[in-house]
Structure 1
């Protein structure tokens, strides 16, 4: 018994020593390192719980802007986490020659295994670059324009659903446009990936709980990413509790595998593009969906493009292919409707270039590129409301780096939040809080060039979103069609609510809609 008591006392003493050392290290880092002078919330000096809690609350994109307004260009938001608001910082952190790698926060966006990489979460820069090259051609804009018929099919069904829901209501039925735009974006991704809609537009609901599980994945990964050492345990416990279908990301992986199996059972490797004139020697089915391309690439070189590459490419489309686009579409529609002058000008441009034609209601991507005000509206909406709302964290490489006059040693985590960058008056002008598409049409080419360099709704540098061209294709085709063919009005006093769990999603985005007859005024 005496020995047991001594053992217990020694154990307690050991724990006490560990806690004392941890406390001493925390105090030393908070007050005596060269980064101790960087301002920020007092509690963030001692614990990352402040950041985790703010993510959990779901409004960090606004918190981050306010931090810089209060403290200046370099702000601490965690023990070793620093947000930067300096026009020179982006090229240092994300530039082509940068050796800054993604932080451990990204680990929770993938399956906890060293072999289960994904393009988004991979911290290994060399492996990421190698794998990205395997997919690059598939996601290029020159390849994606061949998928316009897929987008047209979903856009036509989307508009059909709108017309059905508001027929005869005379503005009396508000629609949750955030939900319907995600249905559209998800089904476009289904068409591009599998040559088949997943069914969101057909049923108007969350098919198989995919949206709910995607939202769960976002909420989980964004918060737990602050403490990634918990991920291997929590990931397995959550999936065990959820049962065979899994939860969050694992649910999306399982769902993707089911879609792939169904596709392979009745493959549509080649799809005729409506209206395309095929020349001599050119096969009718020139456009292949992504899965068919991935399978073909695997069969040609299975050692380089493995079965895991096939799965990972499809999973990436499911995880990132709907939310970013639907959020961006919601932002465009919200700001256009919130600014009647913009709506009038945009509708005038669309009517001039693409007047209503019931025989051919579609607007081509090429036509959209000939409408400069439309492009300015899209860019401005994505400046005001980029889809992601947390700092794009990177780890300072060996040798350290000086950013905005502060030297950051190796291992420090630095990042730029697109909401902060897009609010920088030195880059975008004094009216950054105002929706002003005309800022993108000014004649000052130097200012336009600077704004373009710091416009980052899809990220910057080598880790720019690989699916950005899909998103732009969907937006450029649907937005002008909605403006031309429908009258819309915001509900809720013209204000909306958002939730930031990495993606800054609108909540209860209600819009009154009615078809616009040919000849209606603006």
Structure 2
């Protein structure tokens, strides 16, 4: 049986880490609430790293230093693979790829951060971008800036983004203004419509008058 050399072992680690990064990015496509799961993902990453380090020492009889090196190789391969996959996907395969806009804005939201920090007048940056490209411009990997009035009905009919769900990742823990479930929002809105809807406002209601202070 051919012995595995250190070079071959490192190559296998790179390959396995790269495949894991691609697989992780593929799994991300099945969820749209990742923005509110950041702490869970950090915790999972720490647990995974500690598990790999422990297994390398106990199962493969590596020294702590060698295990740390293997972990660094694995983390680097995973991160590079994941980052490359994300950038390629955002640039050429994302659902918003057909909308015009600065190429850097396709890849990262840092484009908007840089432009905003540079002038502190991001609204003027958006105005120039719309003049250059169109009334619908891609200003981020998952963001569009729209100045077309006729598009308002379609925009307001869309489901809320995960931005509104920042308080909790569980749907049952969200308030009426935060929920992204259309049926849940419709059900919880009914009591409010009685008092705050157009009908409730127009209906005559007795107004209590407080006695005039002496």
Normalised TM-score (structure 1): 0.25
CA separation of 1:15 and 1:76: change in aligned 2, threshold 3 A: same
**1:5 and 2:65 aligned:** yes
Alpha-carbon offset, residue 272 of structure 1: 1.5
Q: Quick one: which of 70, 88, 99 aligns to 1:38? A: 99
Q: Quick one: which of 77, 82, 85 aligns to 2:139? A: 77
Q: Deviations over 1:66-92 (max 9, x none)?
A: 321221132111112222333443333
Distance 1:114 1:54 in 2: 35
Corresponding position of 1:138: 195
Unpaired runs of 5+ residues, structure 2, are 1-56
Distance 1:120 1:59 in 2: 29
Alignment of 1:385-464 (within 5 A): none
8 Å CA contact 2:176, 2:188 repeated in 1: yes
Alignment of 1:432-511 (within 5 A): none
Corresponding position of 2:18: none
Q: Which SS does the other structure have where 1:120 is aligned?
A: coil
Distance 1:58 1:106 in 2: 25
8 Å CA contact 1:38, 1:76 repeated in 2: yes
Alpha-carbon offset, residue 26 of structure 1: 3.0
Distance 2:70 2:128 in 1: 48
Unpaired runs of 5+ residues, structure 1, are 149-269, 275-522
Larger RCO, structures 1/2 (Cα 8 Å, 6+ apart):
1
Corresponding position of 2:130: 68
Distance 2:204 2:185 in 1: 26
Alignment of 1:301-380 (within 5 A): none
Q: Which SS does the other structure have where 2:183 is aligned?
A: helix
Corresponding position of 2:162: 104
Alignment of 1:261-276 (within 5 A): 272=208
Q: Deviations over 1:197-243 (max 9, x none)?
A: xxxxxxxxxxxxxxxxxxxxxxxxxxxxxxxxxxxxxxxxxxxxxxx
8 Å CA contact 2:135, 2:148 repeated in 1: yes
Q: Deviations over 1:467-505 (max 9, x none)?
A: xxxxxxxxxxxxxxxxxxxxxxxxxxxxxxxxxxxxxxx
CA separation of 1:60 and 1:120: change in aligned 2, threshold 3 A: farther
Alpha-carbon offset, residue 55 of structure 1: 7.2
Alignment of 1:217-236 (within 5 A): none
Alpha-carbon offset, residue 103 of structure 1: 0.9
Q: Quick one: which of 77, 86, 101 aligns to 2:148? A: 86
Q: Which SS does the other structure have where 2:67 is aligned?
A: helix
Distance 1:52 1:147 in 2: 50
CA separation of 1:54 and 1:132: change in aligned 2, threshold 3 A: farther
Q: Which SS does the other structure have where 1:82 is aligned?
A: strand
Question: May I ask how many residue pairs the two structures share in their alignment?
Answer: 148
Q: Deviations over 1:400-430 (max 9, x none)?
A: xxxxxxxxxxxxxxxxxxxxxxxxxxxxxxx
8 Å CA contact 2:135, 2:147 repeated in 1: yes
Corresponding position of 1:27: 87
Normalised TM-score (structure 2): 0.54
CA RMSD in angstroms, aligned pairs only = 3.5
